[in-house]
Structure 1
Amino acid sequence: MNPFAHYDTVIVGGGPAGLTAALALTRYRHRTLVVESPAPPRNHASRGVHGMIGLEGATPAEVRARAWAELDAYGLAEHRAAAAEDVTLAADGGFHLTFDDGSAAWGRTVLLATGVVDIHPVDVDGFAACWGRTVIHCPFCVGWENAGRTWGVVADNPAYAATAAGAFSAWSADVIAIAPPGMERAAETRQALRAAGSDLVEGEIVRLHHRAGDLHTVELADGTLLARQTLLWSPPQQQVPLVTRLTTTLGLALNEDGFLTVGADRQTNVPGLYAAGDLTTQWEQGAMNAAGAGAAAADAIHFARTL
């Protein structure tokens, strides 16, 4: 393999956004490189993808395998199992990319589809075992699989805590909010939740009691035990190291919440550098949204080339 091979587009990330973009660009007859770290992907704990027509219940590994079988049939997309370490502007246009396997590549355009990093609590015993199964971050992704169970919504602000009263009733008739001690307007929020048949419990979660990832009890720092079978817990997120580095070296712009800003064409503030998927949005994450963003980015990349 020529480590300095030239590509029409280099895609960093092989999840729904990156692979959808690769398929669309391939059908536009673009020579494309998809760079994906061999480390377990962010969604490796998922037991199945939901909401994607024709792929209902398929595991992330199955989705990737099927996607590459389709891409390989065209012969224009290349897969490289490596982590992208840097993206720099090339003197003659386009971008130079370097990878942790010692190779490099040039791309006329680059699409960042890296996703983000979930910052899991390191001091909550049992969190890792339950994550992606009975500790969930997206009710629309796996709410069905947790239907009919007792739920707890982990919240750190009163507006979100108040949603426990009704927002998740499609999946559970017994939902409470669990907030850190001292949350503002806690008494007011508790009163409103109780009036709606819910409740607010304040306390620091220290342990999740489970059976092979099947949650049954939440333990708080003061010893309180809450019988809960599912937790809706959206941990903080941060950009992957590459994207963080590029905010300094290339001046990539982030919004006030730390997500990449892109235009309607999915292009960042750096011409020729695009982004699609979870790294651009906090509230529209998920496989379907990411795939749609990847397709939109591919369209924009192709039509920008024709102008």
Structure 2
Amino acid sequence: MSEKQYEVIIIGGSYSGLSAAMALGRSLRKVLVMDSGKPCNDKTPHSHNFLTQDGKTPKEIASLAKKQVEEYDTISFYYGKAIDSKKTEDGFEITPENGETFSSKKLIIATGITDEIPEIKGFAECWGISLIHCPYCHGYEYKGKKTGIIANGDKAIHIASLVKNLTDNVTVITRGTANFTDEQKEKLQRNNIQIIESEISELKHQNGMIESVIFSDGKEVNFEAVYAALPFHQHSEIPKQLGCEFTEFGHIKTDFMQKTNIPGVFVCGDNSSMMRSVSNAVMTGNVAGAMVNMELVTDCF
């Protein structure tokens, strides 16, 4: 096996990719982890709901994970973005931005997703800090606080039902005409959840901590936290290049073993799950690593 040939290439070196790498390293597999160094939660001040790591910064968790994975001498790292892929007779060829080519028998894609941030003043600065996406990851820290939810329709109802358990002061911001059934409207009313249909013109904040939402009609409403359900796209084009199937929501389709419809291609982490959390990324990465090792065993045993 040459210097640029591996048993497994893992594209993405955050939680799920590192978790997959550890499982493979412990099985003595020659693995290359390719990482662009741009995690989606780079600004998030604290990570929660992950046993032994509750309250740590995402960077602390990732740094410790990488240090531990580096202890396995069959694991190598390449720092750069993978931009091209090709299925070959023996597996896969992956090409990063500098034009080098690396090959492997199996491929794990752990590239995550990219949130589509609306062009609203203050939105990007608050995203991941006090403008949050997940009640399980961040809701406890804002329990009892005046909370907004930027969403509409079924998504707004889903988030509101979870957030109402954490605070009695909830307002849904639909950024246009509310799209609720009569039954959903009754639920919101019964739970004393207000609806604001105006478009947002600005999120007023201090260093990412929301103070108020300013609407296009000039109205300003104070909030201490705001949830937002944002559209997203895949961080990498490689799953599409290889012909992976996607769900109606835009995630990569996978079975319970993290296998895609493309033989030899596995995925893990946020790119293939609605459960967007560090703990879920680690779990799916561990499964992907173990299942890839099992395929390699089966191929040659």
Into which bin does the TM-score normalised by the smaller protein fall? over 0.9
Deviation digits for residues 64-91 of structure 1 (CA, Å, limit 9, x no counterpart): 2212221222211111111001111123
Letter in 1 for 2:132: I
CA contact (8 A) 1:164 1:198 kept: no
Do the aligned partners of residues 227 and 187 (structure 1) sit closer, same or farther apart at CA in structure 2, a change above 3 Å counting? farther
Q: Output the CA distance in 1 between the equivalents of 2:53 and 2:147.
A: 27
The residue aligned with 1:129 is 125
1:19 aligned partner: 18
Give, as a single letter, the amino acid of the residue that structure 2 aligns with 1:183. Answer: A
Aligned to 2:258: 266
Within 1, Cα distance between the matches of 2:12 and 2:218?
43
The letter for the 1-side match of 2:100 is S
By how many angstroms is 1:102 displaced?
A: 2.9
TM-score (norm 2): 0.92
In the TM superposition, what is the alpha-carbon distance from 1:184 to its structure 2 partner? Answer: 2.7
**CA shift in 2, pair 1:73/1:163, >3 Å:** closer
Where does 1:198-217 land on structure 2 (aligned, <5 Å)? 198-217=193-212
Mapped partners of 1:265, 1:193: distance in 2: 39
* 2:144 alignment partner, SS class: coil
Paired amino acid for 2:248: E
2:196 is paired with a residue whose SS is: strand
Contact 2:155 2:229 in 1 (8 A): no
1:218 and 2:210 correspond: no
Q: How does 1:142-181 map to 2 (within 5 A)?
A: 142-157=138-153, 159-163=154-158, 166-181=161-176
Larger deviation: 288-297 or 174-183?
Answer: 174-183
CA shift in 2, pair 1:65/1:163, >3 Å: closer
Q: Quick one: which amino acid aligns to residue 67 of structure 2?
A: A
TM-score normalised to structure 1 length: 0.91
One-letter amino acid of the structure 2 residue matched with residue 200 of structure 1: I
Letter in 1 for 2:121: D
The CA deviation at 1:186 is 7.1
Name structure 1 gaps, 5 residues minimum.
none
Tell me how far apart the structure 1 counterparts of residues 125 and 191 of structure 2 sit (CA, whole Å). 32
5 Å-filtered alignment, 1:271-290, equals: 271-281=263-273, 283-290=274-281
* Residue in 2 that maps onto 1:55: 53
Deviation of 1:21 after TM superposition, in Å, equals: 0.5
SS in structure 2 of the partner of residue 97 of structure 1: strand
Report the residue type matching 1:105 in the other structure: F
Q: Taking structure 1 as reference, are residues 73 and 188 closer, same or farther at Cα in structure 2, changes over 3 Å only?
A: closer
State the Cα deviation string for residues 228-272 of structure 1 (Å, max 9, x = none). 1111102101112423xx42x422111222211112221111100
Q: Could you say if the C-alpha distance between residues 199 and 67 of structure 1 is closer, same or farther in structure 2, counting changes exceeding 3 Å? A: same
For residues 214 and 187 of structure 1, what CA distance do their matches in structure 2 show? 35
Alignment length (residue pairs): 297
Describe how 1:40-119 pairs up with structure 2 within 5 A. 40-91=38-89, 93-119=90-116
What does the per-residue CA deviation read over 1:40-87, in whole Å, with 9 as the maximum and x for residues that have no partner?
Answer: 321101112212222222222222221222122221111111100111
SS at match of 1:73: coil
| Structure 2 Cα separation of the partners of residues 89 and 162 of structure 1 | 43
Amino acid at match of 1:14: G
* Superposed displacement of residue 99, structure 1: 0.7
Q: Are the aligned partners of 1:165 and 1:197 in contact in 2 as well (CA < 8 Å)? A: no
Return 50-59 or 17-26, whichever deviates more.
50-59
Tell me how far 1:222 sits from its aligned partner: 1.1
2:286 corresponds to which of 281, 284, 295: 295
Paired with 1:84 and 1:274, the residues of 2 have a C-alpha distance of 16
* Unpaired runs of at least 5, structure 2: none
Q: CA, structure 1 residues 176+253, in 2 after alignment: closer, same or farther (shift >3 Å)?
A: same
Contact in 2 for aligned 1:7/1:107 (Cα 8 Å): yes
CA-to-aligned-CA distance 1:129-174 (integer Å, 9 cap, x gap): 21111100111111122223100111121x3333566421343221
On the 8 A contact 2:145/2:224 being kept in 1, the answer is: yes
Q: Is the 8 A contact 1:165 1:196 kept in 2?
A: no
Among 184, 190, 212, the residue aligned to 1:195: 190
Of residues 227, 248, 256, the one that matches 1:256 is 248
2: CA distance between counterparts of 1:166 and 1:45? 27
Root-mean-square deviation over aligned CA pairs? 1.9
